[in-house]
Amino acid sequence: MEAIRKIIENGEAVLGLEFGSTRIKAVLIDKDHNPVASGDHSWENTLLDGIWTYSMEEVWTGLRECYSALKKDVFEKYGVVPKTFAAIGFSAMMHGYLAFDKEENLLVPFRTWRNTITQEAAAKLSEALQFNIPQRWSIAHVYQAMLNREPHVKDVEHVYTLAGYIHYKMTGKRVVGVGEASGMFPIDPETGDYDSRMAEIFDRMAAEAGYPYHLRALFPEVLPAGAEAGFLTEEGARLMDPEGDLQAGIPLCPPEGDAGTGMAATNSVRVRTGNVSAGTSVFSMIVLEKPMKSYYEEIDIVTTPDGMPVAMVHCNNCTSDLNAWVQIFKENLELMGVQVNMDELYEKLYTNALQGDPDCGGVMAYNYVSGEAITRIAEGRPMIVRTQDAKFDLANLMRANLYSAFATLKLGNDILAREEQVQVDALYGHGGIFRTRGVAQQFLADALHAPVSVMETAGEGGPWGMALLASYMVNRKEGENLADFLSDRVFKGSAGSTLEPDEAGMRGFDAFAAKYRAGLAAERAAVETL
């Protein structure tokens, strides 16, 4: 405790912060990359005029509350108020659209990754670039606004992601990490920058739409992991810490998206490694050993934080409806006069799901709180459906909800395995759904037909991964790449568990997935009629 206190007091600790979908979290790490303090702040997106958004006021309030909670945790544990750090890194939900004019006025409310309102633009861009452009990518939002002839477009000067904008306000630098940039526009793996040929095509498409904009002027500069990305300004310090304790001048690493921090947090930046990040959304990332033969609407090509190409399957929905069901059981218990410990409730419900039938006994769950591009569902209508002879009990209900969290992810990964013969040597899971040992981890292994490992640090997730990227910037040795830094200096000797796919479980999940795909017609009907 005394050693950690001195590290913090001397400004040698490293801070990572991530703006997730439902929580803003800060993690402080020591010289051995161990988490030593944390703070968080809960928030939730708002559906405003049909757009999923967060207000900028919520962003800055959330940052202040999160950092204040971290300060409190540090003081209670170590009796010291942090004033400076060796480095800071910011991360946030990838993609989306934050458009500003030349006076830095926000022109329209923040359009998050969750929106499925850019289908026309995504399709036209994908065709023109011969590269899959998902609806949530920043460039799809830019081009859709042009196609819609939205009044604000003529005034757009800069477009940011959330992480990129926060970093800009902290440092005055318009930069993003290459992994974050790869969710804005395609990256050329040879240069580690926006693909020049595709950028020229977009510039022509913009001009044809009546907007003589240039992609490189609109979007931030791209930086690889390890690059210096500016220093905390006095304005940035006060945005984080209005109490005035935090000092300016701290170096910041390139801001990254939650996909990049997930790869860092799971030591999955090498070729043929992968990870699954499960939260409000769920996505898998597999680092490719060779280029894909074709492009698929269900699969995004992004990069690691150091620029290696990655096949990403992203699904908008994962734990939101699952959490809603757990909340229903909490209310039921409280109605009966039982005091509820939520961690214990999750553990018992998840563990009991292992007793369910491998195919969920005829119980089917669709967890679509929002739309889902992979399955061409425009809006969300969460549903539980069952046959009249289904074995409808608590174990199968919870198992179906847990299966549903990974079902759409499986549909995308089946394409990678079937069409591209993509192989993975190590797959790591992280996120709160894996906190109950051996349940979601086993179901994911059965779904993807691959061994799944969960490290003891998996619960720390993205903010810890962001802190690791910040540490890499200030602590890497000459010529040391990110993969070696993580393997040799962060994860060496790390404890964790690995579960192999179970034969009965694989057959059961495959049967569930076949019915899930066939039943999507019912989900579409619900969208149309409810």
List, run by run, the mean pLDDT of 10-residue segments along the chain (530 residues): 95 97 95 95 94 97 98 98 98 97 97 93 97 95 98 98 98 98 96 97 97 96 97 98 98 95 91 89 91 89 95 93 97 96 96 98 96 91 96 98 98 93 87 90 95 75 93 95 95 85 97 97 96
Which residues, in sequence order, are bridge partners of residue 372?
Answer: 377
At residue 477's C-alpha, the angle toward residues 171 and 428, to 5°, is 80
For tokens 């990040």, name the residue: 277
The CA distance from 157 to 431, in Å, is 36
Q: Are 311 and 301 in contact (CB under 8 A)?
A: yes
What pLDDT sits at residue 459? Answer: 55
Q: Are 273 and 482 in contact (CB under 8 A)?
A: no
The pair of structure tokens assigned to 336 is 């009966």
The CA distance from 265 to 428, in Å, is 9
For tokens 């306000």, name the residue: 169
Q: Which residues neighbour 266 within 8 Å (Cβ) at sequence distance 6 or greater?
A: 275, 428, 429, 430, 455, 458, 465
User: How distant, in Å, are the alpha carbons of 103, 180, 280 from that of 95?
Assistant: 23, 8, 15
Which residues, in sequence order, are bridge partners of residue 18?
Answer: 25, 91
The pair of structure tokens assigned to 460 is 């720390």
For tokens 């679509």, name the residue: 368
**Residue 458 phi/psi, 5° resolution?**
-60, -35
The CA distance from 152 to 209, in Å, is 14
512: helix, strand or coil: helix
For tokens 């006069």, name the residue: 337
40-69 b/e (C-beta count within 10 Å ≥ 16 → b) = bbebebeeeeebbbbeeebbeebbbbbbbb
Radius of gyration of the chain (CA): 22
74-95 b/e (C-beta count within 10 Å ≥ 16 → b) = beeebeeebebbbbbbbbbbbb
The pair of structure tokens assigned to 38 is 């944390």
The pair of structure tokens assigned to 144 is 């859709």
What pLDDT sits at residue 460? Answer: 61
Task: Give me the count of residues in the chain.
Answer: 530
Q: Are 179 and 303 in contact (CB under 8 A)?
A: yes
Q: Which residues neighbour 299 within 8 Å (Cβ) at sequence distance 6 or greater?
A: 132, 292, 311, 312, 313, 412, 415, 416
Instruction: Give me the CATH code for the 320-456+500-529 domain, please.
Output: 3.30.420
The CA distance from 29 to 196, in Å, is 38
192: helix, strand or coil: coil
For the chain, what are the domain ranges? 320-456+500-529
What pLDDT sits at residue 424? Answer: 86
Confidence (pTM): 0.83
266-304 b/e (C-beta count within 10 Å ≥ 16 → b) = bbbbbbebbbbbbbbbbbbbbbbeeebeeebbbbbbbbb
The CA distance from 131 to 103, in Å, is 34
The pair of structure tokens assigned to 317 is 């929905």
What pLDDT sits at residue 457? Answer: 62
The CA distance from 222 to 2, in Å, is 40
Strands (E), 191-349: 193-194, 221-223, 256-257, 273-278, 282-287, 300-303, 309-315
The CA distance from 56 to 392, in Å, is 44
